[in-house]
A = this chain, B = another copy of it.
């Protein structure tokens, strides 16, 4: 597991990156994704429900149903997925766990952590999943 994100969030990221490797609008089933990425079937179902409710995915029931990206892949950035699943609180938590830590009353690690995390979140907000999918395909990295 990552340090940073919940397991749900990791699964969501990997799955949406998987979808981004498909042709735009192509439908894919949970079954295919869960078996390719080794994600528990029903757990992924719940995650995709949440992503649908948040407007990142569309779905269709039935024998030839499945999920597809609600927007062109180049318009979805990694940060969108993270916020949809884990929420945006993760950007404002004190790294030492002090409840009263904030900009006006910073803990001793506040400023180091602030620049560190802002840089990282910025890069997550710049990375769209089309580019990510291309990198993965190019490197043969866990390719579909």
Knowing A3-B90, A116-B116, A120-B116, the reply to whether A108 touches B96 (Cβ < 8 A) is no
Total contacting residues, chain A, CB less than 8 A: 41
Verify if A22 is at the interface (C-beta below 8 Å from B).
no
Interface-facing stretch out of A8-16, A25-33, A52-60, A62-70: A8-16
| Interface residues as binary, A105-143 with B (CB distance below 8 Å gives 1, 0 otherwise) | 111110011001101100110010001100110010110
Q: How far is the CB of A119 from chain B (nearest CB, A)?
A: 6
- 9 A-B interface contacts by CB (under 8 A): A3-B3, A3-B90, A3-B95, A7-B97, A10-B96, A10-B97, A13-B97, A108-B131, A109-B123
